[in-house]
Structure 1
Amino acid sequence: MSARDVILDVRDLRKVYRTPSLLGRGTEFVAVEGASFQVERGETFGLIGESGSGKTTVGRMLLRLLEATSGYVEFDGYEVLGLSGPRLRELRQRMQIVFQDSGSAFNPRLPVGEQVAFPMRKFRLHPEKEIRGRVVELLEHVGLQGDQAQRYPHEFSGGQRQRLGIARALAVQPDFVVLDEPTSALDVSVQGQILNLLCDLQEERGLTLILISHNLAVIQHMCDHAAVMHQGHVVESGAVDELFGAPRSDITRQLLEAVLEPTAPQA
């Protein structure tokens, strides 16, 4: 991996949760310890691990949705953890997230078009008179209909809400998107449609993606490189073909043995 191709460099990332106590120092829970990996520009990088392994915590720290306890994160030349003010605002435009739970990711009291439009207004990307048209374009681009912008979140299926989540993430024209278990709550056939949509959008827009998943078939289908997490640690990382074909870690072997002949979801 050459340095000029690396868009994200993560070193020794750590997250500790502290619970205060009136009787003493309190307790600590180490959610992530010493996580390190690199992501190349334009690739899909997987974070693999069972529930509670720390992969979602890592994804949120990269975007400063959670503050890291310590470590180093460099995104395209910027040291992320120390950013503030206008530079942090620029980062938030360039780095977006699609959440796992599409139901709770949207305000049930607002039409979805308003929620897709919100980041455009926040970052002042377009004149107000153009925003409605931009929302319609985005909805159609992710496989929905423009006139659905006036509907409310409960009027959409789970797969449609995930398409809305993708549209909202793309509204600010990012070049980096974290996908936090984007298909885990969907039927297999719908999973394939969403994954194919993400592949198409990545190619069209030159996106760099981090895909967080416990589903090895999805990782194998989507990712170029991946890191395996266990109890907050990255236990192994590398090219997906190598990880799946000749795993070095016992944890990776156990994950693979738990899945019989993993196959990608069908479109």
Structure 2
Amino acid sequence: MPGRDVLLQTQDLRKVYVRQGLFGKGDDLVAVHGATFDIERGETFGLIGESGSGKTTIGRMLLRLVEPTSGYIEFDGYNLRQLGAPQFRKLRARMQIVFQDNGSAFNPRIPVGRQIAFPMRRFGTCSRAEIPGRLAKLMEDVGLHPDQADRYVHEFSGGQRQRLGIARALASEPDFLVLDEPTSALDVSVQAQILNLLKDLQESRQLTLLLITHNLSLVRHMCDRAAVLSNGRIVEMGAVGRLFSAPQTEETRLLLDAVLEPAK
């Protein structure tokens, strides 16, 4: 479509896990069947579906945390599957992930500030002398006090741990974030705070977001467009308003009926 500024696109993305049984090769598990979609620069795109639908696998394939079995991934003009490790490492700074449970993603024996600062050193986004100032500013940007950088992860609440995870994801100055169920482990009031934080950061840092979730209320609040997955296949895709008001497939209607709370 003319005038669209596409940051990331996939074509026929597929992931197959080969099962090895006790008596030899078992039936292969096709986790993702030929996913094709694109994400425009600056938008929030949702991948929605029930547990096991393949949405997390897609998100991790985009970052090459999981290698695709086949298919095409392009990020800002780069064919990710053709890049060698040195080339992809440079691009990797621009593509980061916020996990569902960031508490378990932090080393309990190392102060959180050192772990948040690690991407700054690894990707060379600033000089060693600039790291303390950058770290302090990043802590403030996610709603934490710079003095808390010397603490350990067990000293923080669930909502604070998500803020720490967001800070670490932002440390390499990315322009694309994968949000993998970022609020599912949080209380409702804390969820709202994290969502508002993500919206503010998206605007101030001009981020493009991929939101992976089964929470349709979250999709309606955050996303511009979304794709619905069922058993590893994209069954419907489009603007969020249209998906909610006029779903085109039975799978989408069943998902809405099962999860979506009635409007009040």
Assess same fold via TM > 0.5: yes
1:128 equivalent in structure 2: 128
Inter-partner Cα distance in structure 2 for 1:21 and 1:2: 50
When structure 1 is superposed on structure 2, of 43-52 and 74-83 the one drifting more is 74-83
TM-score by length of 2: 0.96
Structure 2 residue matching 1:125: 3-state secondary structure = coil
1:90 equivalent in structure 2: 90
1:254 equivalent in structure 2: 254
1:203 equivalent in structure 2: 203
Superposition pairs of residues 24-173 of structure 1, within 5 angstroms: 24-173=24-173
User: Deviation of residue 147 (structure 1)?
Assistant: 0.1
User: Deviation of residue 23 (structure 1)?
Assistant: 3.8
User: Deviation of residue 260 (structure 1)?
Assistant: 2.2
Q: CA RMSD in A?
A: 1.3
TM-score by length of 1: 0.95
User: Deviation of residue 25 (structure 1)?
Assistant: 3.3
Contact 2:90 2:123 in 1 (8 A): no
Q: Deviations over 1:152-195 (max 9, x none)?
A: 00000110000010000110100000000000000000000000
The count of aligned residue pairs is 263
Percent identity at matched positions? 67
Inter-partner Cα distance in structure 1 for 2:261 and 2:193: 23
Whichever residue aligns with residue 114 of structure 1, its letter is R
Q: Check if 1:16 corresponds to 2:16.
A: yes
**Unpaired segments ≥5 residues, structure 1:** none
Inter-partner Cα distance in structure 1 for 2:160 and 2:263: 26
Whichever residue aligns with residue 64 of structure 1, its letter is R
User: Deviation of residue 22 (structure 1)?
Assistant: 6.4
Inter-partner Cα distance in structure 2 for 1:157 and 1:91: 32
Contact 1:216 1:262 in 2 (8 A): no
When structure 1 is superposed on structure 2, of 112-121 and 122-131 the one drifting more is 122-131
Contact 2:125 2:173 in 1 (8 A): no
Contact 1:98 1:182 in 2 (8 A): yes
Inter-partner Cα distance in structure 2 for 1:57 and 1:222: 21
Contact 1:46 1:227 in 2 (8 A): yes
Contact 2:102 2:161 in 1 (8 A): yes
**Unpaired segments ≥5 residues, structure 2:** none
